[in-house]
């Protein structure tokens, strides 16, 4: 369920594109500094959105600069980082560890077990610093695993569980002012991601005989149009919470992500599906 919260770079202004890359590079840098090269291997664009939101909201002091790295050794690139970046790096590693453990428990994937063991000590430190967030991640992923094993076909229940996980992740601190809105926004985004992932995996899961919470909906005659409507409602609810927050800096990038970027994989798959259908 990673790789959905990304910007649509094709329609980003050049200045916004550079800012987005700088935040992403800052996250990569923080992963290396806090968790070593193994931490850097967990890097995804998803946490860059969280960095943008919390940075715009809380306005921490940022460190910026240009440097070369192992990934981009030929040319210097800009980076931006702050305490928010450090938080996102820790959450990135925590999610990666729990996801790898989940893969091992469900599929007995040996590579996942090896990767999880490499992250275990780092996750232990993170869970001590952020017990609320890590406790929610562990609890929600365990519930999701149990639901999948039971064959539960109510997608609202499973999506709600993943939504709660994301909601806790979006709350850096219980400030009493913005934490309820951040939590609600994260919950709707999490529900959107869960349903989106299920929609995109549906045909493949049916062919392979794998669990998918939307199979009963498809069997009941509900198709792509219905699923798109559900997704539109969920991301719309997320955007409503986003609009409540007093965000100014980087708001154009964040709107790009919520209104266009999160649909990128969906649009690509629907286009491929339409092409196959037209070809007979």
* 81/18 Cα distance (integer angstroms): 14
Residue found by looking up tokens 């970027």 in the block: 261
Per-residue pLDDT of 90-115, as tens digits, reads 999 999 999 888 887 777 778 888 88
* 273/266 Cα distance (integer angstroms): 10
- According to DSSP, the residues that pair with 77 across neighbouring strands are 67
Q: How high is the pLDDT of residue 76?
A: 78
Q: What is the mean pLDDT of residues 235-251?
A: 97
* 235/266 Cα distance (integer angstroms): 13
Q: What is the mean pLDDT of residues 59-70?
A: 85
| Residue 26 CA: distances (Å) to CA of 33, 91, 96, 135 | 10, 14, 18, 26
Q: Is it the case that residue 66 has pLDDT exceeding 90?
A: no
Among 48-62, 145-159, 258-272, where is mean pLDDT lowest? Answer: 145-159
Q: What is the mean pLDDT of residues 126-139?
A: 96
Please, which pLDDT band fits residue 1 given cuts at 50, 70 and 90? low
Please, which pLDDT band fits residue 257 given cuts at 50, 70 and 90? very high
The pairing of strands 63-67 and 77-81 is antiparallel
Please, which pLDDT band fits residue 277 given cuts at 50, 70 and 90? confident
Q: What is the mean pLDDT of residues 200-213?
A: 91
Q: How high is the pLDDT of residue 273?
A: 82
Q: How high is the pLDDT of residue 160?
A: 95
pTM, rounded to two decimals: 0.93
Helices 131-150 & 83-107 angle (0-180, nearest 10):
30
Smallest CA-to-CA distance from 247 within 50, 64, 7 is with 50
Q: Would you call 188 exposed, middle or buried from its count of C-beta atoms within 10 A (0-12, 13-18, 19+)?
A: buried
Please, which pLDDT band fits residue 71 given cuts at 50, 70 and 90? low
Among 145-154, 223-232, 234-243, where is mean pLDDT lowest? Answer: 145-154
State both tokens at 200: 């995109």
Task: With beta carbons less than 8 A apart as the criterion, state whether 43 and 28 touch.
Answer: yes
Q: Return the biggest CA–CA distance within the chain.
A: 57
Q: How high is the pLDDT of residue 280?
A: 66
* 188/133 Cα distance (integer angstroms): 17
Residue 259's H or E segment, with its range, is helix 251-259
Per-residue pLDDT of 142-186, as tens digits, reads 999 888 888 888 899 999 999 999 999 999 999 889 999 999 999
Percent of the chain at pLDDT exceeding 90 = 72
Per-residue pLDDT of 12-51, as tens digits, reads 999 999 999 999 999 999 999 999 999 898 998 999 999 9
Cα-based angle 233, 229, 202 (whole degrees, multiple of 5): 115
Domain residue extents for the chain: 130-246
Task: With beta carbons less than 8 A apart as the criterion, state whether 87 and 172 touch.
Answer: yes
Average pLDDT, the chain: 92
Q: How high is the pLDDT of residue 91?
A: 96
* 155/171 Cα distance (integer angstroms): 25
Q: What is the mean pLDDT of residues 255-265?
A: 96
Q: How high is the pLDDT of residue 103?
A: 80
């Amino acid at each position: 369920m990673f790789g959905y919260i990304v910007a649509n770079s094709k329609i980003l202004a050049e200045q916004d594109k550079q800012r987005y890359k700088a935040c992403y590079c800052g996250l990569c840098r923080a992963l290396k500094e806090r968790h070593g090269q193994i931490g850097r291997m967990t890097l995804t664009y998803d946490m860059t959105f969280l960095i943008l939101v919390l940075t715009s909201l809380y306005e921490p002091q940022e460190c910026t600069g240009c440097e070369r790295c192992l990934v981009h050794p030929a040319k210097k690139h800009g980076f931006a980082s702050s305490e928010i970046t450090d938080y996102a790096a820790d959450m990135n590693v925590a999610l990666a560890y729990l996801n790898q453990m989940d893969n091992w428990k469900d599929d007995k994937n040996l590579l996942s077990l090896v990767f999880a063991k490499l992250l275990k000590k780092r996750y232990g430190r993170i869970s001590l610093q952020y017990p609320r967030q890590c406790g929610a991640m562990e609890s929600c992923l365990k519930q999701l695993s149990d639901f999948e094993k039971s064959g539960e076909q109510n997608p609202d229940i499973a999506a709600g569980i993943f939504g709660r996980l994301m909601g806790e992740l979006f709350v850096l601190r219980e400030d009493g002012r913005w934490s309820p809105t951040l939590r609600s926004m994260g919950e709707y985004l999490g529900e959107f991601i869960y349903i989106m992932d299920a929609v995109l995996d549906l045909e493949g899961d049916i062919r392979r005989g794998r669990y998918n919470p939307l199979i009963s909906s498809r069997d009941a005659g509900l198709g792509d149009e219905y699923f798109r409507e559900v997704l539109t409602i969920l991301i719309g609810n997320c955007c409503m919470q986003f609009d409540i927050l007093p965000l100014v800096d980087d708001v154009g990038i964040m709107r790009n992500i919520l209104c266009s970027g999160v649909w990128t994989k969906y649009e690509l798959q629907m286009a491929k599906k339409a092409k196959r259908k037209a070809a007979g």
